[in-house]
Amino acid sequence: MSYLIGLDIGTSAVKGVLLSAEGAIAARAHRQTQLLYAGDGRVQFDADDLYDRVVGVIRELAAALPERAGIVGLGIASASGNTLLVDEAGEPMLPAFSWLDARAQGEIETVFGTLDAGEVHERVGWPLLDSGFPLAHLAWLRCHEPELLDRAARVCMSTDYILYRLTGVWGIDSSTATTFYLQDQQAAAWHAPYLRKLGIDEGQLPRIARPGTILGQLTARAAEETGLSASTSVVLGAFDHPSAARGAGVLDEGQLLLSCGTSWVGFYPLQDRRRAVGNWLLTDPFLQPAGAWGGMFSLPAIATSVDRCITSYIEAGPHRYETFSRLAAAAKPGAGGLLLHPEHAAIDGGLEGQAPADIARALMEGTACLLRMKLDAMKAAGIVAHSVTMVGGPSETFPWPQIVADVLGIELTTVNGSCAGAVGSAILAAIGVGLYGDEREALRAMAFPALTRTPDPALRQLYDEQYDVFVSQYRDLGGV
């Protein structure tokens, strides 16, 4: 009666599952996170508050453990790319920078000079960004608050801090470390030239290991806080989308995962890393060294734009997403000719007088058109998806998954919904404690239920015509 806890620490919520070794989800739990916004572009959060929310999820899952069963491992996936400084006493020195933080403007060039974007991408695995993510955050600190950076005993991300609070050990998996922009991805080691530019010593950073590696056992204090046994192993997980790919069984080239959270991300397993880097995809180590790399494209923070439109034109209350789905289902395909790029609509507005049902439907169809633009660009580059699996909160709604299938014109499967990332981290925990040798063995033993949606052939012409008009209007905003 062995059970695992898998956590997915997202931008907007902490989600968790209690998973049996046979793949049965015995319980789910979640807590909303809290971001702190300021007018100068700051988006931060309290790392200790986040830890408390994580502990709340773990305690709720532990309380659901069946009698005579035991939790043998805990794994964590996360939407990383945030930055935290910790002092000698193990205490945060300032609120953590969220990946949404936009105060960095040009500090990377100030610290590093003119970086070659291609060299950065080849080295770290992700395209160079001017703001957001730790490279920009740390450059900002070096320029504006250097004394904090110099006094920091640890330079880390919030997930590393949570792992430290649980085990007393500093560690990071090579997938999550990619979002740091300081890792030589192919060597799975910190890149010394970047550290020197920032004035950071390697000893300030967590030790890098592969996903599925046991970091340590719970400390006595963490065991008391979480309600788990001190013998519970804490296992390194992965970045959230590669973790969701594991949780949805997307492991092979030709498969595509649509991971729909704050950002909507397309994740392709690719055998040749050069195809990911050469097409400017976010590149993840994924199943290395024995399996595929992962290549990702993103519709960044698309859910934020959709939510802004829902709040402005449909409903602002706590049940607005139920209303959003109900109205979209009631509207006719094509939304009465209304075409919406969600980001464009959220910024420009001008939807007064439009029927709320058409707005809801057009937001869903517009997001699906953006996805199709990305898939078409990948197909033109020789990266083709023969099957599509959708996970995340929208995958558990109606009619959004069917709209995506209809607009893409491809069969779409949903597996593990909003908890796919947490299931993936539980699978890595199972591998770490030795229940399974690898992801494939685990997935053979864990038969997760799946729902497949087939495109409606009667809508093919309508959506093809709508897509052509959408592309002509929004290519510059939505293209790759």
DSSP letter string, 151-200: H-SEEE-HHHHHHHHHHS--EEEHHHHHTTT-EETTTTEE-HHHHHHHT-
Strand partners, 133: none
- Surface-to-core class of residue 63, CB atoms within 10 Å of its CB (0-12 exposed, 13-18 middle, 19+ buried): exposed
pLDDT digits over 95-116, tens only? 999 999 999 999 999 999 999 9
Asked whether 42 and 101 are in contact (CB, 8 A), the reply is yes
pLDDT band at 478 (very low <50, low <70, confident <90, very high): very low
pLDDT tens, residue by residue, 268-294 = 999 999 999 999 999 999 999 999 999
Q: Per-residue DSSP letters for 85-147?
A: EE-TTS-BSSPEEPTT----SSHHHHHH-S--HHHHHHHHSS---SSSHHHHHHHHHHHH-HH
Token pair belonging to 324 = 């959003």
> Is a pLDDT exceeding 90 seen at residue 361?
yes
> How confident is residue 130, by pLDDT bands cut at 50, 70 and 90?
confident
State how far the Cα of 36 lies from the Cα of 43, in Å rounded to an integer: 6
Q: How confident is the model at residue 133 (pLDDT cuts 50, 70, 90)?
A: very high
Which CATH superfamily includes the segment(s) 2-241? ATPase, nucleotide binding domain (3.30.420.40)
The average pLDDT across 43-59 equals 98
The ranges assigned to domains in the chain are: 2-241, 302-371+460-478
Distance of CA 228 to the CA centre of its chain: 26
pLDDT of 321 over the 50 cut: yes
Per-residue pLDDT at 476 = 66
